[in-house]
Chain A
């Protein structure tokens, strides 16, 4: 039941084959059984059951609110929720209960969706592993499949060789992958939704900048942040996008959706009308052989199906990491200035002076990663440095955006790229490097998209030789999210990617993949 798509489970709810309360209860049980994943920071059990009951009342009256009515979902713990703690996985906001709800969360609730919990992340979404939050790292559910264990002899002990989810929205990805949520919201600033989506084998969309409201999303980099959508199918993602998109008067950067059509996905899609670009600069150092193989395989598949596939060039790609780093630090330094312990959040006991209170509050409240970025950002913004760093980065950002514009105006509809360099690393390997180096390595395929404000989606394509998911990324034109999803939908249908299979829920036992469906595993 939990591995059904939203479309399927929604039909079951309407037909009365299943009640929303039963569905919600199952998800809550699942959360408890998968607690070792550390996917959730808070579980909103009471609220969820109440919402589910309301959904059932509507179903009984035959008046469901829409395709998401009664569907359990979770959100990254950097979306504000009225009366529900919102921590950003930071000491700074521990115990902080916002007085308002983020627009995108409210929209889901207004559609009858049932909030089951708030998911784990890197502190203030700064990271690519979901390992750097105060609540500890998130574990990738695929670490616990028998396939992974048989392929990795050291993984016999489930507590030693588990793999990371990627990040920073790792909790949301783990929640969807481990079947405790049908849908989850992440946030995506440099790849934070797509990266864990890819490593956890779920569909993860970073919409066009301006399509979804950021009101209530605690910012990382305002000019790049977008709420991300994670689900187990492109169709489910499309349904959700349709609900969430549109102008929000509380976010002045939102834009009008060009003629929203009735259906979430176009009906008349023909892959033969599509031109797929393959950027040559994305053959980056560190790209694993397995992922490269998948990239080539899928590109060939498009070609065989009649799509035009061509190599394209995005020459400024190599500068995106450093450009992102400067802009990110600057906005972080600015955005984090409000956390001074006066209005809300952590406040230090040191009150010898206002300055001392600020300093110790901020020292105690933020982890090293956040503090380093604040320090760098303030350095870049100093009057004598501004032109050398911030201005240069802004110029580079325009050049990167221009690269994409040129490629798209040459007739390319979507770009096909890897999402990550490889499948998920073990936690043990991952923490060998510091956060800054890891982010720089892990986000190279995803960051340029954020700099340009484009939509991009990762779709799981196969399992790696280690039995872990591999995903590929499709990048679309600005505000052409629906068309992008149409291509992704076609691609997904060719893939036959296995869901995590739940063996026997009552035993609460290990998850296994359906080995029968792993035809492409080599």
Chain B
């Protein structure tokens, strides 16, 4: 999770920076050479602007396989677990023993309907399953059960926003059409041992439920696709229908890419398969767009082929032939009756147990607040900036943490957002921790902020205490403040004592102040604060100093 988030941010950062450069150095020759090696949409465009021919643009569609978060597989009762010992979660059906039959897992259907609703899809109340045939060692039945003819959800859209601009504080909003969401089985895993020329098969993943989200070619570059992917990932995580961990393969991306001149028919597309991080999605797409443009510009033709992204070289390469043209010999799955879901209780026919029926209106009512809505809400409710709303909502669990702090402290949300986004996230990222692993609880942070807000400690002292809380979470905030002796000095006598000491040590400054240069008073205050380790109550201090120097 954390890894892919930060990766994604890095992509955005990278692109945004380059865009700024584009604006500044409009088509500088040297600049082109430089962007050439780093490959980004923005650079591509700037390069093309130098050409006299009309600009070619990329057209991108994503097909995303999302593993359904469920206790058991799509058609069998074996458990789903990522790091289980090989072949420990394999039912007779998963191993395709003859005579076994698929039994549909209702939880997977509900997940697909829920996801369809969140993506504004039309839910097909009757959908069908099909067999897709190909021989592969990790596909034990010789076919995959999928939904080719009538999928469970169609005609939706994914709305997403991302940040652009110099300070990454401008919000760009886009919408991509979702053609369909289909339920299908995952395959097992093959492990090739080239030295001993053998292949090891792990069927733990075989038969795990997938939702394939098929998007229309509505995107134009890697940055956009990565942002769409990131938003989909967030939505799925919010819904609880997919854990969305790309490193564990819970979310896998195929990108269909072509280039054309705007207004002309779409070009021949290639498919880059199985990209396993948002960052790579952006890189693979931008590389592929550039490659296709080059091919066409040099008079060649783009082949309709399947390609793979090599993350080491940053290039896409054609996949081996057998992955190319295949006739999947689709056929209706005869062992599964049509899949019916119902609008509501009233539309469940006699003979169907309502307790076992999938009801669209019930799932709709249970939809949680989606990320886009949540960002708008937190901006309005807490008066925070758009970029802060992105961080709050995009980091798993951060918004909950934030809202708990807000509830527990007297400090205003607008003022405390920095503490959560800079101090807390900074520390977490540094130690590679998730939010729910934070040693500092929202309540403890709230206590600290209360002390700060009430003037009991200074802002700089609060930062010191925060670091100590991190190291010693078992100690209370008051205890730490006491131990570190960081409480503000508000005792008049003590303050006078310190001021006197400083004035004695700097008679020259005192003279200047008394001579009428009140600006130097600030310098004097700084020295006093340094002497008191920042503990002097600033309001009292200024009064005392004014009295003593007048």
A contact set with B: CB distance below 8 Å: 79-80, 88, 93, 98-100, 102, 214-219, 221-223, 249-253, 256, 330-331, 333-334, 336-340, 342-344, 354-355, 358, 378, 381-383, 386, 390
Contact = CB atoms under 8 A, between A and B. Distances in A.
Contacts of B103: 249-250, 252
Contacts of B104: 252
B95 interface: yes
Residue of B102, B104, B201, B327 contacting most chain A CB atoms (<10 Å): B327
A474 B92 CA distance: 38
A251 B101 contact: yes
B327 A337 contact: no
B140 to A, nearest CB: 6
A99 B143 contact: no
A218 B96 CA distance: 11
B98 A390 contact: no
B135 A340 contact: yes
Residue of A102, A217, A337, A386 contacting most chain B CB atoms (<10 Å): A337
B97 A344 contact: yes
Nearest to A99: B92
Contacts of B516: none
Contacts of B331: 330-331, 334, 381, 390
A219 B100 CA distance: 9
18 contacts: A80-B98, A93-B98, A98-B99, A217-B99, A219-B99, A222-B334, A252-B103, A253-B335, A337-B133, A338-B98, A340-B135, A342-B140, A358-B135, A381-B330, A381-B331, A382-B327, A383-B327, A383-B329
B199 interface: yes
A217 B335 CA distance: 12
B131 interface: yes
A338 B140 CA distance: 6
B142 interface: yes
B85 interface: no
8 tightest CB-CB pairs across the interface, nearest first?
Answer: A337-B142, A381-B329, A222-B334, A223-B334, A218-B98, A338-B96, A80-B99, A216-B99
Given A256-B351, A354-B137, A343 B97 contact: yes
Contacts of A93: 98
A355 B201 CA distance: 15
B337 interface: yes
Contact of A252 (B96, B98, B101): B101
Interface string B271-287: 00000000000000000
Contacts of A216: 99-100
A337 B99 contact: no
A102 B335 contact: no
Interface string B141-178: 11100000000000000000000000000000000000
Contacts of A79: 99
B334 A331 contact: yes
A127 to B, nearest CB: 18
B261 to A, nearest CB: 31
Nearest to B90: A343
B99 A354 contact: no
Given A80-B98, A338-B142, A355-B135, 7 more contacts: A98-B99, A215-B99, A253-B101, A331-B331, A338-B96, A342-B140, A381-B133
B114 to A, nearest CB: 22
A351 to B, nearest CB: 9
B336 interface: yes
Contacts of A354: 137, 199
